[in-house]
Amino acid sequence: MLTNPSQILLRNSDLFVDQEVLVLNYEADLLPKRLLEFANRVEALALDYHHHLQLQPHGGDRLNCSFGHKLPHEASFDTVVIYFPKAKPLAPYLFNLAATHLKPGGRLLVVGENKGGIKSLPKLLPDYFAPAMKRDNARHCLLYSSQLTAKAPAIVLQDWVSQYELETPQGQISICNLVGVFSEKRLDPGTQLLLAHLPTLTGRVLDFGCGAGVITAALLKAQPELALECIDINAMALASCELTLAANGMQAKVYPSDGLAQVEGKFAGIISNPPFHDGLQSTTDIATRFVNESNQRLLPAGVWQIVANRHLPYSDTIAAQFGKVSVTAENNKYKLYYYRHPG
């Protein structure tokens, strides 16, 4: 089943005939594989690890699948497709990335849902592209086309970073936020509640949904001896977390994981302000799955602590998995759930 943006691309299949195609920020379907019916070769770069895992088994000689904030090589393409990002500040980065991989005069296609910000594309497109032309309008989506008219600047990751100092209960830390990664340039109330009641931890600790690395940096500020592992599904978040660690002179293992599927072994601590958005939709699926998997990942006497919005129905899921769980702190928006594994 193709998403609506993918369907509008497929109905414009003439644009891909005999082309070398790069697809950036693709969605949870197999559109890059379908393009092989028309294109000579397709490269697909996912910024969402779950999307990458769906497409990866279909890779082959004519379909190459990558995950990350950039391609692992410098190949050039006749056509680059961008799925307009749900996080609008990420769009200019994707335009720049597309331009660095387009052949001179190559075609740019940008597709997105009307409610997702795609209508602002003509104003956002940088001047190394020709003015955007509306190519199609269907299924509540728009498809724009443009052409590379000048050489684009090389991607320098630091140019896309917002760095700021953050005061936490553990002390001041530097945070590096790449475009498209959630940040308020202050400690959000949920994380504030979590950090204000951090337990003393030992050994191997997991930061689930690490984002830009705020929780990890605060933990290491308080306890530099901890062996932190930071996982997220978002490529820009993982790169941000690595930059945050470097800015604070800290070290941790940072890697993608779909839930806890790519995590190995057990932990003395699992800490999280779990994500509850998937694209434009609010969902508890990510956090519910995390709760269900966590109990199997705790060492004896291991500590599990998350902060969650009061209105989200975690309590029943947590109770079903862990039995007795304490609410150690709360305010008018958030609850802090705490569990210690018996043993």
Say whether both 55 and 40 belong to one domain.
Answer: yes
Maximum alpha-carbon separation in the chain: 65
Q: How far apart are CA 26 and CA 289, in angstroms?
A: 23
Domain residues for 199? 158-340
Spell out a b/e string for 10-45, using b for 16 or more CB atoms within 10 Å of the CB, else e.
eeeeebbeebbbbbbbbbbbbbbbbbbebbebbbbb
* The amino acid at 281: Q
**Listed residues 154, 178, 195: the one ending a domain:** 154
Q: Identify whether residues 29 and 46 lie together within a single domain.
A: yes
pLDDT band at 276 (very low <50, low <70, confident <90, very high): low
Whether residues 259 and 202 fall in one domain:
yes
First to last CA, the chain: 46
Q: Which CATH number is 224's domain given?
A: 3.40.50.150
Whether the pLDDT of residue 240 is over 80: the answer is: yes
CA angle 58, 60, 64 (to 5 degrees): 85
Of 128, 154, 180, the domain-final residue: 154
pLDDT digits (tens, 9 = 90+) for 145-180: 999 999 999 999 999 999 999 999 999 999 999 999
CA distance 254 to 251: 9
Is 191 in a helix, a strand, or coil?
helix
Residues 293-342 pLDDT 10s: 998 899 999 999 999 888 777 777 888 888 878 999 998 899 999 999 88
One domain for residues 122 and 98: yes
* Same domain, yes or no: 105 and 29: yes
Q: Is the pLDDT of residue 183 over 80?
A: no
Whether pLDDT at 282 is above 70: no
Q: Which of 154, 186, 203 is the endpoint of a domain?
A: 154
pLDDT score recorded for residue 322: 86
pLDDT of residue 275: 74
Based on the fold, state whether residues 213 and 185 are members of the same structural domain. yes
Same-domain status, 296 and 174: yes
What element of type H or E holds 26?
A: none
Whether residues 77 and 219 fall in one domain: no
Q: How far is CA 285 from the centre of its chain?
A: 16
Confidence category of residue 284, pLDDT binned at 50, 70, 90: low
Q: Which of 128, 122, 119 is nearest to 97 (CA)?
A: 128
* pLDDT-above-70 percentage for the chain: 97
Q: Identify whether the C-beta of residue 252 lies closer than 8 Å to the C-beta of residue 245.
A: yes
Higher pLDDT, 183 or 201: 201
Q: Domain tally for the chain? A: 2
Tokens found for residue 99: 């331009």
Put simply, whether the predicted model's pTM sits higher than 0.75 gets the answer: yes
H runs (alpha helix) in the chain:
4-10, 31-34, 49-55, 91-100, 121-124, 189-196, 214-222, 235-247, 285-294, 315-322
